[in-house]
A and B are shown apart, each in its own frame.
Chain A
Amino acid sequence: MTRKSGHTANWAPSRRAFLTGAAGAALTTSAATALPGAARAAGDPAITEIKDWNRYLGEGVDAAPYGAPSPFEAHVVRRDVPWLTADPVSSVNFTPLHELDGIITPNGLCFERHHAGVATIDPAEHRLMINGLVDTPLVFTMQDLQRFPRENRLYFLECAANTGMEWRGAQLNGCQFTHGMVHCVVYTGVPLKLLLDEAGLKASGTWLLAEGADAAAMTRSIPLEKALDDCLVAFKMNGEALRPEQGYPLRLVVPGWEGNMWVKWLRRLEIGDAPYAQREETSKYTDLLDDGTARRHTFVMDVKSVITSPSPQAPVTHGKGPLVITGLAWSGNGRISRVDVSLDGGRNWQTARLDGPSLSKALHRFYLDIDWDGSELLLQSRAIDEAGYVQPSKDALRAARGVNSIYHNNGIQTWQVRADGVVENVEVS
């Protein structure tokens, strides 16, 4: 039957079945061998029949001034976990890492974390103030900021709470949910040092307070040493203006450090001579240990990795034979020097192949190409950074900290790949 329509139906495959683990038998045969005998003899109708897109005209260049993904990719979206928070306005959603490749996160898929929703700001009415221990307290417009020398830098941004739901054990079935509070984009912005120098730092200044313009007026204390090192005040991501949910028109970039410090809708920088002990560095973003004491100022995001495919949302549907194992690795301490992958739950390891640019404090993409014999796999990845830190096991972290830290869980993740190709989040002995 030939459908004479220029419109593409939304036939995005549903992943619900895989999420609930109710996939039944995953496809273990290829499409070619699944064809009935007669059809196989006649050939694949995808080839032997003339398709609509081969006959009728498609849309013109005037149809989509701002393009969107194919409707067949409609399942590649941010998702949230309703029970995590009291209200979706002060909440988080997750990047679909299992569907992505390379190291750049598309702007529309970058996970969101707000404390008072997405501020809608007219850039003409946005101001950046510098005050405190400076020679000249200053106010900048967005136009002023566009006149400073700029830099472009690729950095990961990871929420301190990424993987936080897994401290007590395997809980969420999908790397989107266990590891998806991370993204990596190219920022265009002004080195923070240039702006601070413009105001003239007094010698007594040792700390910087960054503040957002939204209804949470997010504030974090940052050591001045870090502010002068590699922080940016950014107005573009992946070449275009920041998305509103990522801080439009202005955000702070704090490379390698926990995402909470990357203040969005940035409106003020205050120089002081002591930390400010704001809510987000006392009540929150402090790490409770087993003995009831807590660490504060745990800024750096430690060395970490995860296999993004196969994973619970990306089961193996092609049966035995060549299988691409891929994932991401990153470290707030610099570059990733190596990623090892285990197929047997950490008994034996082989070094994976890093592919693409290796940039400091950015995501790294790794691959291990194997010939799968169809037996059960217990997949793990273990990253090592240029400082020599080795990604720890979850058990090592629990032994050192207990299970109530919430933040900074960079433990090694295990996926169980069953013989039928279904994948599950598990913990192993």
Chain B
Amino acid sequence: APHGTYNLGRRATEEEVAAWNIDIRPDGKGLPPGRGTVSAGETIYTEQCASCHGVFGEGAGRWPVLAGGFGTLDDQRPVKTVGSYWPYLSTVYDYVRRAMPFGDARSLSDDDVYAVTAFLLYLNDVVTDEDFELSHENFTQYRLPNEPNFKADDRASEAHYADRSEPCMTECKPGPVTVEMRAAVLDVTPDAENGEQMGSGAVD
């Protein structure tokens, strides 16, 4: 049957949609049938994940930390992990299945991903039993601690945006302006002598 205004493209088959439609929502929509235990997940994680993410999810080198960091979100240097920061368990399953292991994406089976997700719950103390099994049936019963701490974009209410009056043009500061901080002191710009130094606000 023709479709749309231009009748361009063709109907996707159910098999084609199933091959690509792998996203999972927080309400569990999209979860494939399957199951995996913490102990099975530990085996997979140790073999395929720990070299970058650390044996206990602590992160190796600059690679992402996956566990811990509880209570640090209002610290000077917060540690944002699955347990301390991520709002939904569905994102763990979805992202591991979609993009991990880094450099060998889509290589884990659906059961493997359930097991690794169960192990990440264990590393983050959300479950404590090594025999715990995560499955499509019980998945949505498990919530991550930081879920309540996300809010909508309310930037427009910040004072500097709420006030849209004409900005000051003359004598806007009392005395002469002084320099408080210099990039050259930190000296982490590429071509500087110490370009390997860790900076703040790194992108990852």
Q: How many residues of B contact A (CB 8 A)?
A: 90
Main secondary structure of the interface of B (DSSP, over half): loop
Contact A277–B25 (Cβ < 8 Å): yes
**A427/B63 in contact, CB under 8 A:** no
**CA distance in complex: A369, B160 (Å):** 29
User: B177 and A344: CB pair below 8 A?
Assistant: yes
Q: How many A-B residue pairs have CB under 8 A?
A: 310
Which one of B1, B17, B171, B204 has the highest number of Cβ atoms from chain A below 10 Å of its Cβ?
B204
Q: How many residues of A contact B (CB 8 A)?
A: 117
Within 8 A of B (CB), among A149-175: 161, 164-174
Q: Across the interface, do B159 and A170 meet the contact criterion of CB distance under 8 Å?
A: no
Query: A319 an interface residue at 8 Å Cβ cutoff?
Result: no
- Would A396 and B160 be within 8 Å (CB), given that A177-B189, A274-B27 are in contact? yes
Tell me the complex Cα distance, A345–B179, Å. Answer: 9
Asked if B159 and A295 sit within 8 Å, CB to CB, the answer is no
Q: Looking at the complex, which one of A84, A216, A295 makes contact with B202 (CB distance below 8 Å)?
A: A84
Alpha-carbon distance A84/B202, docked complex (angstroms): 5
Contact partner, B188, options A132, A172, A296, Cβ 8 Å: A172
CB of A256 within 8 A of chain B?
no
Contact status B191-A215, CB under 8 Å: no
Known: A164-B201, A173-B189, A296-B153. Contact between A425 and B183, CB under 8 A?
Answer: yes
Known: A137-B12, A216-B105, A283-B80. A20 touches B193 (CB 8 A): yes
Contact (A131, B12) CB under 8 Å given A165-B200, A348-B170: yes
Residues of A with C-beta under 8 A to B151: 293-296
Query: Known contacts being A279-B94, A349-B172, is A82 close to B149, with CB within 8 Å?
Result: no
Residues of chain A at the chain B interface (Cβ within 8 Å): 16, 19-21, 79-87, 89-92, 115-116, 129-132, 135-141, 144, 147-148, 161, 164-174, 177, 194, 197-200, 209, 211, 215-217, 219, 267-268, 270, 272, 274, 276-279, 282-284, 286, 288, 290-300, 302, 312, 340, 344-350, 378, 382, 384, 387-390, 392-393, 396-397, 399-401, 403-404, 406, 408, 416, 424-429
Question: What are the 5 closest A-B residue pairs judged by CB atoms, nearest first?
Answer: A345-B177, A198-B4, A86-B62, A292-B74, A292-B73
7 contacts between A and B (CB under 8 A): A20-B189, A90-B102, A148-B6, A288-B78, A348-B171, A392-B161, A401-B158
